[in-house]
Amino acid sequence: QGGDIVMPIRQLAPDVAAKIAAGEVVERPASVVKELIENSIDAGASQIRVDLMHGGLQLIRITDNGCGIVAAELPLALERHATSKVERIDDLEHIRSLGFRGEALASIAAVADVTLLSRGRGAEQGAQISASSGQILPVTPAASPEGTTLTVRNLFSAVPARLKFLKSRNTEVSHCHHLLEQYALAYPEIRFSVFSDGRQIFATKGDGALSSVLVEVYGLQVAEQMVPVHSPEQEDAERPVISGYTSRPTCYKSTRQHISFFVNRRWVMSRMLTAAVEGAYHSLLLTGRHPISVINVQIDPTFLDVNVHPAKTEIRFLKERRVFAAILRAVREALLEQPQMPQWQARK
Ligand code: ADP
Ligand code: MG
């Protein structure tokens, strides 16, 4: 029992502390992909390419055509609590960017070998910086297209405790794949392409239409079973605006995994929002059957707290019931409006 061993309180060595802190942000390859994709989106990219080797454990590379980073700022990008997105604490109240913690790149660099290659818009040439086992190496000039390429190698190779918990290569690939589908649904105007061990596994056109991403993610047959969801025009700032698509009751899945929410274009998980969607299917779906839904919520950011969890996938609403009610109503109306619904389902 622990009681027998009395250890003195000690300050952790910086690299040990960094690895422990990184655990909150970087759980598996998909969490690295998530942070890097968010950075590319924040950088205004219209094209994002993702390469995975061996489920991301060997290599994760994200290439974007966003605004890039100037050479002089490359070392800062890898520092903890260094960000270009937030300056004062009140900024968090009306945050529009996906990132704000300034922690992702530092955390990733604590548990993997990272190379950051970038060329800022209009810059003559690119530059690159690498970090290996937490050691940051000097910036060197390097040829680069406009935008940023971030390469992560040997993820967790120095963190055996974490490596042990990872699943097979295929499981990690499918986590990354699911995540990228979610971001593609949230950002139909961005062209995504995803490769696993050199083979393309997912791609979107980037034509701006959610319906065309639905086809890429779920296939034409399912996409044809989706009906548009929309709330009435916003009357007051407190009223969330709902948009998206949801499946006819004849089209369903056996898990809730395909009910996606984007709040101000941030992918979030929420039991409350899921319950609102499923509530709208009350009496339309048998138990054990779940809809496919993509629900966008636009809301005044002052009614949100996005800083709840390091991975930023949980948020808090100031007026939770209003959001619940708005989603329930919008989805319910979408289902009732659609003409092909069989009579027995439309009753009640
Ligand atoms: P955060 O996203 O919270 O600011 P990160 O550690 O993810 O923190 O990134 C640190 C900084 O590096 C960002 O604020 C941004 O200025 C810069 N950066 C990271 N990735 C990119 C990218 N793909 N394109 C342009 N700038 C980037
Ligand atoms: Mg970030």
Ligand 1 atom index nearest CA of 62: 23
What is the tens place of the pLDDT at every residue in 147-156? 999 999 999 8
Question: Is the CB–ligand 1 distance for residue 64 below 6 Å?
Answer: yes
Dihedral sign for Cα 314, 319, 323, 328, please.
positive
Question: Is the CB–ligand 1 distance for residue 149 below 6 Å?
Answer: no
pLDDT of the residue at 242: 95
CB under 8 Å to 200, separation ≥6 — which residues? 193, 194
**ipTM for this model:** 0.98
How far, in Å, CA of 259 to CA of 273, rounded?
A: 9
pTM recorded for the entire structure: 0.90
Residues recorded for the chain: 348
DSSP annotation string for 250-281: TS-BSSGGGEEEEETTEEE--HHHHHHHHHHT
Tell me which ligand sits closest to the C-alpha of residue 41: 1
Residue 204 scores a pLDDT above 90: yes
How far, in Å, CA of 131 to CA of 162, rounded?
A: 20
Nearest to 250, CA basis, from 186, 346, 333: 346
Residue 183 scores a pLDDT above 70: yes
What is the tens place of the pLDDT at every residue in 113-147? 999 999 998 899 999 999 987 788 999 999 999 99
- % of the chain at pLDDT higher than 70: 94
What is the tens place of the pLDDT at every residue in 210-219? 999 999 999 9
Question: To test the ligand 1 pocket, which listed residue (83, 96, 98, 150) has its Cβ within 8 A of the most ligand atoms?
Answer: 83
Nearest to 125, CA basis, from 142, 150, 147, 148: 142
pLDDT of the residue at 347: 41
Going by CA atoms, what residue is nearest to atom 8 of ligand 1? 102
pLDDT band at 59 (very low <50, low <70, confident <90, very high): very high
**CATH of the domain spanning 14-203, picked from 3.40.50.300, 3.30.565.10, 3.40.50.920, 2.30.110.10:** 3.30.565.10
> Structural domain boundaries of the chain?
14-203, 225-346
* Joined tokens for residue 105: 């790149």
Domain pair 14-203 / 225-346, same fold: no
Residue 344 scores a pLDDT above 50: no
Its CATH architecture, for the domain 225-346, is: 2-Layer Sandwich (3.30)
Question: Is the CB–ligand 1 distance for residue 120 below 6 Å?
Answer: no
Mean pLDDT of 28-42: 95
Residue 61 scores a pLDDT above 90: yes
Across 90-99, 210-219, 246-255, least confident range: 90-99
Ligand 1 atom index nearest CA of 86: 4
Residue 100 scores a pLDDT above 90: no
Angle at 260 between CA 258 and CA 262, to 5 degrees: 165
Question: Is the CB–ligand 1 distance for residue 35 below 6 Å?
Answer: yes
